[in-house]
Amino acid sequence: MKHIGLGFYLVILTLLVSVAPPAGAQPSMPFSGLAVFDTPGDEGHSITIEWESASTELILVMRATSPEGDYEVLSDALASDSTYADRTAEDDVAYYYRLAYPTDAETLYTAGAGPVTSRSNWFRTGRWNTLVLTILTFVMVVSFIQIAKRGKELYIRKIAGLSAMDEAIGRATEMGRKMFYIPGILSINEIQTIASLYIMKYVAQRTATYGATLEVPNIDPLTFSAAQEVVKQAYMEAGKPDQFKDDMVTYITYDQFAYTASITGKMVRERPATNFLIGSFFAESLILAETGQSVGAIQIAGTAELAQLPFFVTACDYTLMGEELYAASAYLSREPILLGSIRAQDMVKAILMAIMLVGLVTLAFGSNAVRELLTPH
When divided into structural domains, the chain yields a total of: 3
User: Taking a C-beta distance cutoff of 8 angstroms, is the pair 90, 45 a contact?
Assistant: yes
Q: What is the pTM of this model?
A: 0.64
Which pLDDT score, from 0 to 100, does residue 154 have?
A: 80
Which pLDDT score, from 0 to 100, does residue 155 have?
A: 78
111 and 136 inside one domain:
no
Which pLDDT score, from 0 to 100, does residue 300 have?
A: 95
279 and 226 inside one domain:
yes
For residues 256 and 182, give the distance between their C-alpha atoms in angstroms, rounded to a whole number.
13
364 and 219 inside one domain:
no
Angle at 115 between CA 112 and CA 117, to 5 degrees: 130
Strands of the chain (E only): list them: 32-38, 47-52, 58-64, 72-78, 83-86, 95-102, 107-109, 113-116, 178-182, 213-218, 249-251, 274-278, 298-303, 318-321
176 and 259 inside one domain:
yes
Which pLDDT score, from 0 to 100, does residue 11 have?
A: 47
107 and 188 inside one domain:
no
Q: pLDDT, tens digit, for every residue of 271-324?
A: 999 999 999 999 999 999 999 999 999 999 999 999 999 999 999 999 998 888
In which residue ranges of the chain is pLDDT below 50? Answer: 1-3, 9-13, 15-21, 23-24
Which pLDDT score, from 0 to 100, does residue 2 have?
A: 46
For residues 114 and 55, give the distance between their C-alpha atoms in angstroms, rounded to a whole number.
24
Alpha-carbon torsion (338, 340, 345, 350), positive or negative: positive
For residues 30 and 262, give the distance between their C-alpha atoms in angstroms, rounded to a whole number.
76
284 and 358 inside one domain:
no
Half-sphere exposure of 218 (CA within 13 A, CB side): 23
289 and 364 inside one domain:
no
Domain span at 365 = 130-142+344-374
Residue 271 CA to chain centroid, in angstroms?
40
For residues 124 and 235, give the distance between their C-alpha atoms in angstroms, rounded to a whole number.
53
356: in domain: yes
282 and 317 inside one domain:
yes
Q: pLDDT, tens digit, for every residue of 130-184?
A: 888 889 999 999 998 998 888 888 877 777 778 888 899 999 999 999 999 999 9
302 and 353 inside one domain:
no
